[in-house]
Structure 1
Amino acid sequence: MFSDDGGATFRRATPALGGSSALFLASTPSGVSHTFQWNSFEDGVAAGTVILAGITSPGSVNPRVRVRVVPDGGIEGSTADFAVDNTMDRRIGSVTGPFPLDIAVIGVSETAEGDLVADAMRARYRVQLAFQNALGIREPLPAAVWPSDPTLRRPGLVAGPPYDLVFGDVARMLPFGNRVVTRTVTGAQVWEMLEQGVSYYPNINNGFPQISGFSFSFKAGNLAGSRVLSVTLDGGRPILKDATVYTLATNEYVNGGGDGYTMLADGQGLLRELLVQVVSDRLEALGMALPTIAGRITVVP
């Protein structure tokens, strides 16, 4: 809950996409970190003046508000001041053109957005492999977001690219609040993951592999479970179906067995940062991102 009148009254904060749930949060005596993404624009806090399609809508700007934590029992917890920086509107970089999203495409093939997300995880944690499930990605870049800064280059407001990105774009692209998990996997597990990922082909699979650090080929005409033909690390070394160990980054949903990846549901893995933050930081580091497909997945008829 928050107050913008010095604590006289409190209102429930509207959650934004990309954060953790505000309910049933775990706690320990030493503390557990939780991230709540606040849609301060919706609540009229730190929104500023919005100019869209020639229409000016003034919003309230509050440099400081008060936040109150209400635990499960319903008894009000501590109250404290904090600053609002309107993170969703913060510019994080640019793109030379749109990163498109078509469910019928990402559910059966490699995409520029999938490469971006997987590359971000691998670069952040310096692992050998990264793996993202296809429909963990839900909007293109730029997304359906309307920042308050009228000087930003956005689709519909300028004739064409390049376009500016804000944090809210990534929050809408990755709306489930997943954190990254780093862990080890064997070569045999990698093959099993990929077999699961292409098992529905040519039908859409929510968990179709979006990968980084390696490439693979599969034969579409083979029976599900025996389609993967080869798996190769960047640099050319083959990943064999054996006990060789590799480092992997994925999201916590996949690591918990989601989308059929039960081979990972073994309780292993170190919980890291929010995936939305990792991808946002990657885009900020790139400055100008190109929507390219690296060619990591080969389909043999």
Structure 2
Amino acid sequence: MVEKITASLRPKLEKPIGYTLAPLDARFTTVRMKESNMGNFVCDLMRLHYLADCCIMASGTIRGDQIYPPGVLRVKDMMNCFPFEVPCVVVQVKGKEIVKALENGVSTYPALEGRFPQVSNISFTITPAMPSGQRCSDIRIGGETIDMERKYKVATRDYMVRGKDGFTSLMLKEHGGTAESIVSDENGMLISMILRQYFMSLKVLGKWKKWSTSMGNHFGKIQDDLHEVHPVKEPNQSAQPLRVPPIEDKLHDEKLESNGNTRKSLVGTAQKHTRNTSDLPARPAKSLKVGQADADSDSDDDEDADMPAIMPSINTEHELNTVRKVMRKWRRLAGIEGHPDMATSKHEAFSCHWTKGIAPRIEGRIKFAT
């Protein structure tokens, strides 16, 4: 019964939306304890989308708990990593309230709590040996020392402006705090939707029909700033999508018997007769792609695009998740830290032809002092 219900959803969740050249580190042991390239990328995108001064996002927002390997990113990856239907919001608060928010985020370190902050346009140093409330130092916004009395526009999540996870300094006035609402929860977008629109703006093939000029200009400006920190690689126009060869008819008109004689194949003859005499109108021919199930375009009524939407089996997905968990446990027990690097170097060919490849980076926004 479950299989029957989810069967129609699987092709939609397998839609390719982007391509990453670098492993995206969304492990809890990373995002809840230190800076992450996934956290940097998402926070930068939130800040630039809303033209905010900075962004603070509780790491509990990132739920993937895995390293997303280099390659195609699908709708299901974004939905699994950002499953919450909590919109992004923008508030205006004084610098001292931002300091309190950062202090709250690191107050329980090194516990793996979701309050640990991932940030954009903010840099600070954590001293774990100091008592809670005094652990953050050298706090800068936009490269300048934070002004305690200046009001900053902060992109964050509605969950946090309600005072959850101890972020009372970001609470809105209507909730008993001091923050002023600029973009409310009613007008804010989901992180998964912002990500999907951004990836849509990178596409060369399969772009949404209803992509307006204003959206193009908006995301064009986002790309200009975002790609200075997180570079992208242009698609390889010479690469061609993998095609399935024409399916040969395996039902021949003649069948070889054991005595060496041949006779007419009743099944083959019947099927040939059906094909020749059918009164049904012929269906328009479509190009066949590997595992592609009319799910490549970003809306159901769009034309198919040349994107390699390979449909992995459920067993394959389970095996991959098991391998990741086993390898993560093995590295931990062996005392080996994983350091995922760029998957495609400048000397290697970038095989993706339908979109630009992203490569989120770590900048050293969050430092630790002894």
Q: TM range, normalised to the smaller chain?
A: 0.5 to 0.7
CA distance in 2, matches of 1:95, 1:128: 27
Task: State the 1:202 CA deviation.
Answer: 2.2
Q: Structure 1 stretches of 5 or more lacking a match?
A: 1-10, 15-39, 49-85, 144-154, 156-160
Residue deviations 1:184-210 (CA, integer Å, cap 9, x gap) = 111010100011011112222211010
Give the aligned residue type for 2:54: L
1:130 corresponds to: 55
CA contact (8 A) 1:283 1:289 kept: no
2:193 is equivalent to residue 277 of structure 1: yes
2:29 corresponds to: 104
- TM-score normalised by structure 1 residue count: 0.63
Larger RCO: Structure 1 or Structure 2 (Cα < 8 Å, ≥ 6 residues apart)?
2
Residue deviations 1:133-189 (CA, integer Å, cap 9, x gap) = 11210116776xxxxxxxxxxx6xxxxx4x011222111101111100111111010
Give the aligned residue type for 2:165: D
CA distance in 1, matches of 2:31, 2:167: 18
Distance verdict in 2 for CA 1:125–1:44, change over 3 Å: same
2:108 corresponds to: 200
1:288 corresponds to: 357
CA distance in 2, matches of 1:279, 1:164: 14
Distance verdict in 2 for CA 1:265–1:216, change over 3 Å: same
2:38 corresponds to: 113
CA distance in 2, matches of 1:41, 1:244: 56
SS in structure 2 of the partner of residue 273 of structure 1: coil
Distance verdict in 2 for CA 1:299–1:46, change over 3 Å: closer
Distance verdict in 2 for CA 1:142–1:107, change over 3 Å: closer
CA contact (8 A) 2:27 2:66 kept: no
CA distance in 2, matches of 1:42, 1:212: 40
Number of matched pairs: 207
CA distance in 2, matches of 1:117, 1:124: 10
| Percent of aligned pairs sharing the same letter | 26
CA contact (8 A) 1:142 1:165 kept: no
1:252 corresponds to: 158
**What is the 5 A alignment of 1:33-52?**
42-45=5-8
Distance verdict in 2 for CA 1:41–1:247, change over 3 Å: farther
Partner of residue 229 from structure 1, selected from 126, 129, 137: 137
Question: Larger strand proportion, structure 1 or 2?
Answer: 1
1:188 corresponds to: 96
Task: State the 1:42 CA deviation.
Answer: 4.4
Question: Larger helix proportion, structure 1 or 2?
Answer: 2
Q: Structure 2 stretches of 5 or more lacking a match?
A: 175-179, 203-355
CA distance in 2, matches of 1:97, 1:42: 34
- TM-score normalised by structure 2 residue count: 0.52
Task: State the 1:131 CA deviation.
Answer: 1.2
CA distance in 2, matches of 1:189, 1:42: 47
Residue deviations 1:22-70 (CA, integer Å, cap 9, x gap) = xxxxxxxxxxxxxxxxxx994433756xxxxxxxxxxxxxxxxxxxxxx
Distance verdict in 2 for CA 1:91–1:41, change over 3 Å: farther
CA distance in 1, matches of 2:38, 2:100: 24
CA distance in 1, matches of 2:43, 2:162: 18
Distance verdict in 2 for CA 1:244–1:263, change over 3 Å: same
CA distance in 2, matches of 1:134, 1:249: 14
CA contact (8 A) 2:27 2:67 kept: no
SS in structure 1 of the partner of residue 24 of structure 2: coil
Distance verdict in 2 for CA 1:92–1:218, change over 3 Å: same
**What is the 5 A alignment of 1:142-157?**
none
CA distance in 2, matches of 1:299, 1:205: 18
